[in-house]
Amino acid sequence: MKPQPVAIRPSMSRDGDTRNESRRLIGTWWNELTEADAQAAPVANTFVMGSMAEILNTFDLPMSFPEIAALQTAVKGRAMDFLLAAEDLGYSPDICGYVKVDVGLHNTGRAHPLGTYPKPAIVVASNMCNTYIKWAEIWERTYHCPVFVLDLPGWRGSGFTSDPTDETFANDVRYVEGQLRDLITLCEEVTGTAFDIDKLRHVLASVNEMSELYREILTLNKNRPAPFNALTEGINYMGVANILRGRPEGVEFMQTALAELRERVDKGVGAVDDERFRLLLIGTACYTNFRDFVGLFERWGGVFVASEYMSYAGGGIDRGIHYDLDRPIESLAEQILISSQLTMSGIFHSHEWQAGVVRDYGIDGICYHGVKSCRTTSAGLPDAREWLMRNEDVPGLFIQSDLVDSRLWAEAQMRNRIDAFFESLQSRRDQAGG
């Protein structure tokens, strides 16, 4: 028998300390950026993957993240203004939406819906996304600021290892460590402050603590019902993990979130009132129609209990990072290398990670969301989908829209595919007598 969607309170309306606190922290972050710009204080413009927050925070450099700023313009309904401003300058519709929002923002007075997007005094990029380097060069030309590009070697073999006795891995760590020391020197020049290795240890200890809490939070969604939606509330956790990585406020937030989620688990409170299907999201979210997107799943009782996005855009925070404080710079180099290699190799090995999540979290179906303006994160999704269907017998839905470009969102078609997917999930469950 075919089910019909039921009215379910969306998870985004699930009130709690965490939700309010994340809003407050993000507001505070924007106030810091706005204030820094007003005071002409140095700000580091960096990216969520390979942010080098550990070093930047050691120098008390406020960090602006263009991807986070861009997605926030989409959620606030302003992304198109900036996309069109960039296209007026000649940027192609095919270019990453985040880049174009950022370019539009910088060329229209840097007035973000949540504050002033500051001019960078230093730009930190890496090769973890193939767009980052050219993106950073735009700022370099615009603001004549130094750009530091961290070159992270990919894993050159069929099996990943982080064994320190492995010669290739050890060489790569030394290569990254040398670059970190260069970045430290550059930060000293930009801030006029001497590097304090004990302060770095303090920052690293904070990341260790945050990472453990974050990992525990993710694990709580193995419960039925899942206490949080990895797409909606998960974005809040990941956002705070990025902007407050290495800061005590970030640790406190994760403690609050973990306590709140444990309480939900104890009381049997789920992300939605009636959890019917447990889902895994592969790819990034659709921020331009974020509420509509989530609602199309939640109206069927579908909950994203896990999301690959919470892993690969979190700079390894999901893995339970443990920096060795006795050798901080070397340990930082090791962990950055492991995170980046896992992320970059993710295109080729994501299906194995997905299979583990399917088993551990009791996944009923996987949603693969291809992003039209980001081929990097969209590569291989149909192949992974077929592999999971064949080897793990888990149904997969492939849909496409965009991160921030509402012109690439077609609600009727999106709804049709999602509804059909849930109909097939229900039919499958009925067949199994569930």
Partner 1 sequence: MLVAGVDVGSTQTKAVIMDRDQEILGHGLCPTGARLDEAGQTAFTLALDEAGVTESDIDYVVGTGYGRFRITFGDVQVTEISCHARGAVHLFPNTHSVLDIGGQDTKAIKVGADGQVIDFNMNDKCAAGTGRFLGAASEALEVPLGELGPLALGSKNPVKMTTTCTVFAESEILGWLAKGRRVEDVVLGVHVAIASRSVTLLRRVGVEPEVTFTGGVTRNSAMVELVSEQVGERVNTSEESHYCGAIGAAIFAWDRVLAGHPSERRTSV
Minimum distance from residue 394 beta carbon to partner 1 (Å): 11
Residue 268 binds partner 1, judged by CB under 8 A: no
Q: Are the beta carbons of 129 and 403 closer than 8 angstroms?
A: no
Q: Which stretch binds partner 1 (CB under 8 A): 15-23, 98-106, 193-201, 414-422?
A: 414-422
CB nearer to partner 1: give 111 or 420: 420
* Residue 178 structure tokens: 């040398």
**Looking only at residues 160 through 189 of this chain, which bind partner 1 when binding is defined by CB under 8 A?**
none
Residue 410 binds partner 1, judged by CB under 8 A: yes
CB nearer to partner 1: give 2 or 267: 2
For partner 1, how many residues bind (rule: CB under 8 A)?
22
Residue 35, SS3 per DSSP: helix
Distance CA 81, CA 192 (A): 38
Minimum distance from residue 424 beta carbon to partner 1 (Å): 4
- Strand blocks (E) in 196-342: 277-283, 302-307
Residue 420 binds partner 1, judged by CB under 8 A: yes
Residue 216, SS3 per DSSP: helix
CB nearer to partner 1: give 251 or 404: 404
From 195, 346, 395, 406, residue interacting with partner 1 (rule: CB under 8 A): 395
From 1, 7, 194, 432, residue interacting with partner 1 (rule: CB under 8 A): 1
Distance CA 420, CA 423 (A): 5
Neighbours of 412 (CB within 10 A): 7
Distance CA 215, CA 150 (A): 26
Residue 417 binds partner 1, judged by CB under 8 A: yes
Residue 432 binds partner 1, judged by CB under 8 A: no
Q: Which residue from 203, 208, 215 is spatially nearest to 319, judged by alpha carbons?
A: 215
Residue 412 binds partner 1, judged by CB under 8 A: yes
Minimum distance from residue 140 beta carbon to partner 1 (Å): 36
Residue 132 binds partner 1, judged by CB under 8 A: no
Distance CA 373, CA 417 (A): 20
Distance CA 21, CA 237 (A): 11
Distance CA 328, CA 421 (A): 48
Distance CA 338, CA 107 (A): 36
Residue 429 binds partner 1, judged by CB under 8 A: no
**Looking only at residues 354 through 393 of this chain, which bind partner 1 when binding is defined by CB under 8 A?**
382, 389
CB nearer to partner 1: give 19 or 372: 372
Q: Are the beta carbons of 406 and 80 closer than 8 angstroms?
A: yes
Residue 413 binds partner 1, judged by CB under 8 A: yes
Minimum distance from residue 347 beta carbon to partner 1 (Å): 20
Distance CA 374, CA 378 (A): 6
CB nearer to partner 1: give 135 or 422: 422
From 400, 403, 404, 405, residue interacting with partner 1 (rule: CB under 8 A): 400
Query: What stretch of H or E contains 292?
Result: helix 290-298
Burial of 422 (0-12, 13-18, 19+ CB in 10 A): buried
Residue 94 binds partner 1, judged by CB under 8 A: no
Residue 408 binds partner 1, judged by CB under 8 A: yes
CB nearer to partner 1: give 155 or 421: 421
Beta pairing, strands 396-401 & 365-371:
parallel
CA dist 226 → 112, 254, 258 (Å) = 34, 17, 13
From 13, 92, 165, 431, residue interacting with partner 1 (rule: CB under 8 A): 431
CB nearer to partner 1: give 4 or 161: 4
**Looking only at residues 3 through 32 of this chain, which bind partner 1 when binding is defined by CB under 8 A?**
4
Rounded to 5 degrees, φ, ψ at 122 are: -150, 145
From 87, 273, 330, 419, residue interacting with partner 1 (rule: CB under 8 A): 419
- Per CB under 8 A, residues contacting partner 1 are 1-2, 4, 382, 389, 395-396, 398, 400, 408, 410, 412-413, 416-417, 419-420, 423-424, 427-428, 431
